[in-house]
Amino acid sequence: MAPTQTTTLRVPNELRDEIARLAAARGTTMLDVVAEAVERLRRDEWWESVRAALDGLPDAHLSAYSAESRMLGASAPDGLDDH
């Protein structure tokens, strides 16, 4: 298996120290902390794009979407709607 390519990223010492503190508290690596932060940002931006798309829907389409979402949510076997 080929080694993973790496690069150097310059960050202020304070940020490096905070990443190191988070890694130590979680019992993980600094790379894992940075990777998780990037993944959370990517996910947050994706959800923001979904919210923006829903905000841009005409009322009739939004109503249909909401009704379909309720129907699908009620049929989900995960039991989350039971609480």
Per-residue model confidence (pLDDT) at position 82: 53
What pTM value is reported for the model?
0.66
Cβ neighbours of 30 (radius 10 Å): 15
Q: CB of 29 within 8 A of CB of 23?
A: yes
Whether 26 has a pLDDT exceeding 90, the answer reads: yes
Rounded Cα–Cα distance for residues 80 and 83 (Å): 6
Q: How many CB atoms lie within 10 A of CB 33?
A: 19
**How large is the average pLDDT for residues 4-15?**
94
Per-residue pLDDT of 27-80, as tens digits, reads: 999 999 999 999 999 999 999 998 898 888 888 888 888 888 888 877 766 666
- Locate the domains of the chain by residue range: 14-75
Q: Pick the closest to residue 7 from 31, 28, 36 (CA basis).
A: 31
Determine the pLDDT at residue 2.
Answer: 81
**Angstrom distance (rounded) from CA 46 to CA 54:** 13
Q: At 73, is the secondary structure helix, strand, or coil?
A: helix
pLDDT of residue 48: 94
